[in-house]
Amino acid sequence: MRIDVLTIFPEYLDPIRAALLGKAIDKGLISVDVHDLRDWTHDVHKAVDNSPYGGGPGMVMRPQIWGDALDQVCAGDPAPRLVVPTPAGRPFTQALAHEYAAEPRLVFACGRYEGIDQRVIDDASTRMRVDEVSIGDYVLVGGEVAVLVMVEAVVRLLPGVLGNPRSAAEDSFSDGLLEGPSYTRPEVWRDLAVPEVLLSGNHRLIDRWRRDQSLERTLHRRPELLEALPEEAFDKHDRAL
Ligand code: SAM
């Protein structure tokens, strides 16, 4: 998978080369290019913003610079899927992470200030698939952190990135539920004991216990996830809960 990121703060993306993502780059599973948007400016101040039409606070990122940058970075075959982080976008979910993990090319366009002139998104949409995506109902200063979040969620789904592929398959959201609690040695820590069933060696009972924990946690913390699941997602033991 090829990933390009356009930003006015390339150094913000340095963590993309650390830890698991860095290993994925070293193994050749992904290639990442971070581009400085200011390379497409023509004035001495390398200005990327201007005041908003219609008035109001803040500044808006100028369309000419974004347009030229995207023309160059998105050129080539296949056309990439362009992802524009914005709090006004569709929610980023595990399902969308899976969709992105199947793409050969992703380009991320990091906004700053009040965001990017909307015509940049409208224009790009005539040539490629464009998603305006939000990582949550809060407002960040810029799109860089949102890109780190999305890239990490996507890249860990690629074959060969995680040591054990079962990890991703058993994570929260893979079956529509939150994952239950995890424990490791020692058996008792500060008078708190590991649930006995986990020491039983009985895998049928352990699986049932994990499923119940997962259902209970989801019911208490994210009931809307349970409501969204179809009837077939539950077995007769689940319904007894
Ligand atoms: N005026 C915009 C609004 O109210 O929708 C907020 C702009 S925000 C200060 C600047 C940039 O941060 C956005 O263009 C976007 O790239 C990024 N950003 C902020 N919050 C985000 C979120 N929840 N999800 C994704 N990107 C976000």
Could you tell me the pTM of the whole model?
A: 0.96
ipTM of the complex: 0.99
Give me the helices (H) in 63-202, please. Answer: 63-73, 94-101, 118-124, 144-155, 166-170
In the prediction, which pLDDT does 239 show?
Answer: 66
In the prediction, which pLDDT does 167 show?
Answer: 86
224 is catalytic: no
Task: Give the count of alpha carbons within 13 A of 42, CB side only.
Answer: 6
In the prediction, which pLDDT does 151 show?
Answer: 98
For residue range 108-134, list pLDDT tens digits in order.
999 999 999 999 999 999 999 999 999
Extents of the domains making up the chain: 2-155, 172-239
| Mean pLDDT score, 19-28 | 95
Nearest Cα to Cα of residue 132 among 110, 114, 151, 153: 110
Per-residue confidence at 241, pLDDT binned at 50, 70, 90?
A: low
- Give me ligand 1 centre to Cα 19, in Å: 26
In the prediction, which pLDDT does 169 show?
Answer: 85
For residue range 152-193, list pLDDT tens digits in order.
999 999 999 998 888 888 899 999 999 999 999 999 999 999
**CATH T-level topology, domain 172-239:** Trp Operon Repressor; Chain A (1.10.1270)
| Mean pLDDT score, 211-239 | 94
Q: Which two tokens stand for residue 131?
A: 């998603």
211 is catalytic: no
Dihedral through CA 167, CA 169, CA 170, CA 173, nearest 10? 120
Superfamily of structural domain 2-155: SPOUT methyltransferase, trefoil knot domain (3.40.1280.10)
Q: In one letter, which amino acid is 133?
A: V
Rounded distance between C-alpha atoms, residue 139 and residue 209, angstroms: 38
For residue range 199-215, list pLDDT tens digits in order.
999 999 999 999 999 99
Residues 6+ apart with CB under 8 A from 206: 197, 198, 200
Per-residue confidence at 76, pLDDT binned at 50, 70, 90?
A: very high
Ligand 1 near 146 CB (within 6 A): yes
For residue range 28-62, list pLDDT tens digits in order.
999 999 999 999 999 999 999 999 999 999 999 99
Residue nearest to atom 1 of ligand 1 (CA): 114
Report the phi/psi class of residue 28: left, alpha or beta, with left for phi > 0 and alpha for psi in -120 to 50.
left
Residue nearest to atom 2 of ligand 1 (CA): 114
Is residue 137 marked as binding?
yes
Report the sign of the C-alpha dihedral through residues 86, 87, 88, 90, in that order: positive
Per-residue confidence at 97, pLDDT binned at 50, 70, 90?
A: very high
Distances (CA, A) of 93 to 135, 149, 231: 8, 11, 22
